[in-house]
Amino acid sequence: MKTLILGAGYAGLAVATKLKPVSGMQVTMLERYPYHVFWTRLHEAAAHNTKVTLPLAPLLKGTGVDMQNLTVEAVDLDKKEVTTREGQTFTYDTLVVGLGSVTNFYRIPGLAENATELKDLTDAEDIFSFVQRAYDASYTGNRDIVVGGAGLTGVELVTELAQRNEILSKERGLPPFGISLVEAGPKILPVLDDALRAKAQATLDSYGIQTLVGHRLMQATADSVTVQTADGESRVIGAGKIIWTGGIQARDIMRGEKLQKGPGNRVVVDATLRVPEYPEVFVIGDMGLGLNQDGKPVPTTAQHAGQQGRLTGKNLMRLAMGEELEVYEPNTLGEFISLGGLMAVGWMKLPWNQKLAMTGGLAHVMKRASEWRWRSSIS
Ligand SMILES: Cc1cc2nc3c(=O)[nH]c(=O)nc-3n(C[C@H](O)[C@H](O)[C@H](O)COP(=O)(O)OP(=O)(O)OC[C@H]3O[C@@H](n4cnc5c(N)ncnc54)[C@H](O)[C@@H]3O)c2cc1C
């Protein structure tokens, strides 16, 4: 039986590290990078150049998985074929797709052309080098940064940038650059309850970050964004660097006559995370439309991608043994948002569906603990 796993992110790597060599089962993994990226720490790479990668080969030892460093170009479900940019074609009996998501620019004029995303290592490098340039004494351009989107990624990024700003300003004796966070919705971090949101907002304020909620980004040029309030008031904000973290959508790479997609372009899957019309195909992580116990889409997070991956790994082993597949039951264990340095806010699930809210150093430790749990689950 030929099994192909596409992507070694939070979902795909969790699948692969759950596997054991089984006679008759041949598993190949296709991943564009030779390393796993801790995407949840990409904002740290953008602000501080932190290393956020781990080589894949040692993680796959003992799994029987053959990792090939290739970029998938197309997945044809009707032909059961995967083709790569490098010109290879792979066929499969079972396919697992976990190729993640891409930025959604919502066709806002000028945004895709002028904004940096925070979706890849090159984006982090680009932001880091802008900050370095802004603190070069010979730099004469606009030093201010505008970030669009006040969800988890946007807030984690602006707070980390603010920390770096403080350090460099003291070190180089130059005034800090301005940071604005623009959000079309009525509040930052909609995933949090009001009390935790207020803590997060207070932290943004203490860093001097200008937060503009209820301001829709209407247009971007090379050096400015135009924002508009619900009552039509419009304003232009100059920027040396524009960063867009305001939306994602599933990577659009799969083709199939009977393939169905839902919100955010996510592929419709059944209770075992398989595509109903193509039961030999599992779609997991940000690409799949996994549903919770109330029939609502699970959030696109590393936590859920990892859970889906671990379940799919187990289910591949069950398939190989001719056993029934286990059903997906997501479990949101908590949510922690880093606010720069040792500051964070979040909550942890307690028995009987109670939530324990945390702020400050303790929340930071919990955030780090969830990252270490992930590391130990794949090692
Ligand atoms: C800055 C940032 C901060 C975040 N913070 C958090 C957080 O605190 N908590 C949380 O739970 N979630 C967070 N997330 C979201 C989380 O990272 C994603 O939900 C998670 O990575 C989804 O897992 P995945 O396996 O579906 O996709 P990914 O982890 O993105 O993995 C996809 C894999 O596919 C590979 N790939 C993509 N295209 C191709 C191709 N064509 N060919 C071959 N390989 C390919 C990629 O290199 C990657 O290894 C954050 C995301 C970002 C960007």
Could you read off the pLDDT of 296-332 as tens digits, one per residue? Answer: 999 999 999 999 999 999 999 999 999 999 999 999 9
Q: Is the CB of 306 under 6 A from ligand 1?
A: no
Mean pLDDT of 146-161: 98
Domain spans, the chain: 2-103+249-331, 111-246, 333-379
Q: Is the CB of 243 under 6 A from ligand 1?
A: no
pTM of structure: 0.96
- How many Å apart are CA 372 and CA 357, to the nearest integer? 20
Q: Is the CB of 9 under 6 A from ligand 1?
A: yes
Q: Is the CB of 72 under 6 A from ligand 1?
A: yes
Q: What's the gap in Å between 40 CA and the centre of ligand 1?
A: 8
Note the pLDDT of residue 107. Answer: 97
In this structure, the residue with its CA closest to atom 29 of ligand 1 is 9
70 pLDDT exceeds 90?
yes
Q: Is the CB of 301 under 6 A from ligand 1?
A: yes
Mean pLDDT of 57-61: 96
Pick from 86, 14, 37, 6: nearest CA to 312: 14
353 pLDDT exceeds 90?
no
Please give the number of the atom of ligand 1 that sits closest to the Cα of 73: 41
pLDDT tens digits, one per residue of 200-216? 999 999 999 999 999 99
Residues above pLDDT 70, as percent of the chain? 100
Mean pLDDT of 366-371: 93
- How many Å apart are CA 229 and CA 251, to the nearest integer? 31
pLDDT tens digits, one per residue of 89-109? 999 999 999 999 999 999 999
Q: Is the CB of 32 under 6 A from ligand 1?
A: yes
Note the pLDDT of residue 234. Answer: 97
Backbone angles phi and psi of 131, in degrees to 5:
-60, -40
Residue 93 neighbours by CB distance under 10 Å: 13
Q: What's the gap in Å between 349 CA and the centre of ligand 1?
A: 23
Q: Is 362 exposed, middle or buried (0-12, 13-18, 19+ CB in 10 A)?
A: middle
2-103+249-331 and 111-246 agree in CATH topology: yes
Q: Is the CB of 43 under 6 A from ligand 1?
A: yes
Q: Is the CB of 99 under 6 A from ligand 1?
A: yes
Q: Could you tell me how many helices (H) and strands (E) the chain has, helices first? A: 9, 26
Read off the DSSP letter of residue 333. Answer: -
In this structure, the residue with its CA closest to atom 50 of ligand 1 is 40
307 touches 15 (CB < 8 A): no
Could you give the 3-state DSSP secondary structure of residue 73? strand
The tokens for 38 are: 């801790």
Mean pLDDT of 351-375: 93
The angle at the Cα of 262, spanning 260 to 263, to the nearest 5 degrees, equals: 160
CATH 3.50.50.60, applies to 2-103+249-331: yes
- How many Å apart are CA 132 and CA 254, to the nearest integer? 39
The tokens for 92 are: 């499969």
Mean pLDDT of 338-342: 94
First CA to last CA across the chain, in angstroms? Answer: 26
Ligand 1 pocket test, pick from 52, 243, 301 with the greatest ligand atom count within 8 Å of Cβ, gives 301
Note the pLDDT of residue 379. Answer: 86
Average of per-residue pLDDT values in the chain: 97
- How many Å apart are CA 293 and CA 239, to the nearest integer? 44
Q: What's the gap in Å between 321 CA and the centre of ligand 1?
A: 30
Note the pLDDT of residue 158. Answer: 98
Rounded alpha-carbon distances, angstroms, from residue 37 to 163, 223, 350: 23, 31, 30
194 pLDDT exceeds 90?
yes
Pick from 227, 47, 246: nearest CA to 147: 246
Altogether, the residues listed in the chain come to a count of 379
- Four-way CATH pick for 111-246: 3.40.50.300, 3.50.50.60, 3.40.50.1950, 3.10.290.10: 3.50.50.60
Could you give the 3-state DSSP secondary structure of residue 98? coil
Strands of 81-84's sheet, edge to edge? Answer: 89-91, 81-84, 72-76, 254-255
Ligand 1 pocket test, pick from 39, 84, 157, 253 with the greatest ligand atom count within 8 Å of Cβ, gives 39
Please give the number of the atom of ligand 1 that sits closest to the Cα of 119: 53
Pick from 240, 370, 288: nearest CA to 15: 288
Q: What's the gap in Å between 138 CA and the centre of ligand 1?
A: 37
Q: Is the CB of 347 under 6 A from ligand 1?
A: no
346 pLDDT exceeds 90?
yes
Mean pLDDT of 4-20: 97
